[in-house]
Structure 1
């Protein structure tokens, strides 16, 4: 591992994400993983399902 990468990783440890940032990251992860399996998946589909889950969980 290069020194530059090690420094970036160390700096990343101190980052605190907001709830909105965590949600955005979660949706991005879901999109990326489902897109691999099904090329017809869109970000809009992921957003729709995330909102449906939010309503379901109350």
Structure 2
């Protein structure tokens, strides 16, 4: 996702790295300078509708 943001004109501000909660997180700025966080936790299952179900 961060690579896609950079290709679309965004600037990666903080590359993806392991987060203390077990997933990964990184930040990019869009062309207007707004910061966005991209987060991923590969352990959480995602159902067919795109929802995360916990425990």
Q: Which TM-score bucket, shorter chain as reference?
A: under 0.3
TM-score, with normalisation over the residues of structure 2? 0.25
More helix by share: 1
Normalising by structure 1, we get a TM-score of: 0.24
More strand per residue? 2
Structure with bigger gyration radius: 1
